[in-house]
Amino acid sequence: MGKWRLENITIFATNRTSAEVLGHNVHALFRMRYDASRISRFRETPRLLWHEHIICMEIRGRPSPAGDAVDADAITPVAAQTEESRTWWEVSVDQYARNPGSPNFAPWLARYREGYRSAVGMPGSVIRGGAQLFHRRGGDAHPRTEDVHTADDQAEASRRYLGKKGGILTIEIHDVPSIGLSGDWDVKERYLFFTLGVQGGTVWRRVRQHLRVDKSLPPDLWTRTLEVEPLEPGVQPGWETNVDTTGFTRVDPPAHLTRVNPPLLTGGEFV
């Protein structure tokens, strides 16, 4: 039987900054090798695992100094003291299982189609990220091109090539974990811990992102860090979060972060 093996996950990141967001561009490149078998049919790739644990804290309504006045003769203060609200929420979910149709995962769904397009010199058709198909020794792959007209044909040509000759498939997922800067909060702090791999695999990567925006401070004093570490075989994926939420009231996470969205597959896509 043919066999897939995840050889490596390479992660690189750049800062993502605009008037609307603060965060990172995170690129995760999965390098997968398929060893073909002459006595069995093509075997599907193992399922992507993209587990995220998010902890978010917000401070709203910072107290305004009582007694501020329009001028020295004013009797009523302009701003009465407000009550400060401190809340936090967390969510832990496999994002690929929850929302495989996310634009982040488009290259994974279209891995065979995009692999074919790269091999024959066609431009990619996904917005972010992509996939490439290579010969099993790392050189150029040459899938058949005759009678390949549709996206389904392109994906099938890649699958047949891999099934007969084996090869290497690289899939790049481009995620954009960020904090939106709009909203009536004063301080927002978010920790994102995510673990990447494939089902049954032994290669894992863990990423830890910390963002903190305090609107009373200039942007160069905001916090933005990102760490990546490999995970040794046999070690349970996940992070020790150790985030102190003392003084904050726990609330429900935003509904869209837990809602399950089945994918709407288009031509040449596979979950």
pLDDT in tens, 32-73: 999 998 887 899 999 999 999 999 999 998 765 444 444 445
Secondary structure (3-state) at 96: helix
Residue-level pLDDT at 106: 97
Full residue range of the structural domain in which residue 49 is found: 3-65+78-257
Tens digit of each residue's pLDDT (9 = 90 or more) over 220-257: 999 999 999 877 655 555 566 789 999 999 999 999 99
Contacts of 37 (CB under 8 A, 6+ apart): 1, 2, 3
For residue 115, being part of any structural domain is answered with: yes
Residue 271 lies in a domain: no
pLDDT of residue 150: 97
pLDDT tens figures, 101-121: 999 999 999 999 999 999 999
In a domain, 73, yes or no: no
pLDDT at 78 over 70: no
pLDDT for residue 71 = 47
As for how many domains the chain has, the answer is: 1
User: Lowest-pLDDT range, 35-44, 130-139, 148-157, 179-188?
Assistant: 35-44
| Domain presence at residue 134 | yes
Alpha-carbon span 117 to 19, nearest angstrom: 36
For 125-142, write each residue's pLDDT tens digit.
999 999 999 999 999 999
In a domain, 263, yes or no: no
Query: Residue 126, CB half-sphere, CA atoms under 13 Å: how many?
Result: 30
Q: What are phi and psi of 170, to 5 degrees?
A: -110, 135
Residue 125 lies in a domain: yes
Give domain status of residue 202, yes or no: yes
**For position 187, what pLDDT does the model report?**
98
Collapsing DSSP to helix, strand or coil, 25 comes out as strand
The answer to whether residue 54 sits within a structural domain is yes
